[in-house]
Amino acid sequence: MAKKKKPQPESEKPQESLANTVSAKGRIKRDLVFDSQFLEDMAYWVKTDRKLALRLLSLVEEIGRIPFDGTGKPERLKYQDANVWSRRLTDKDRIVYLVSEDRIEFLQGRYHYSDH
């Protein structure tokens, strides 16, 4: 006959920080942080091109799951910090984001990174 395990008191349960949580698919979950410039760019797209604003939101969601692969041809920006990446939103507009161990900071959602 199998023994029943006693439930652990709250103080003895292992604590998980958000930075160290891993999804069922083995991906690290990171906080998403939005720079004021990115929020201004998002507001611009909502006012001028709702379809593009939805594409931007879709890319943000995808970047949150898989920051280095996927839609929009992700590329590391060579002349910036080693952790700064971009993806294509349109032919001339890019999403620029910084990836660290525990968060992804969205820096820009409009223009080409060299134009701004």
Three-state secondary-structure class, residue 18: helix
**116 catalytic per annotation:** no
Burial 37-69 (b: 16+ CB within 10 A, else e): bbeebbeebeeeeeebbebbeebbebbbeebee
SS (H, E, C) 39-84: HHHHHHHHHHCHHHHHHHHHHHHHHHHCCCCCCCCCEECCCCCCCE
Q: Report whether 95 contacts 56 (CB < 8 A).
A: yes
**75 catalytic per annotation:** yes
- Catalytic: which of 75, 101, 105, 116? 75
Residues identified as active-site: 75, 112
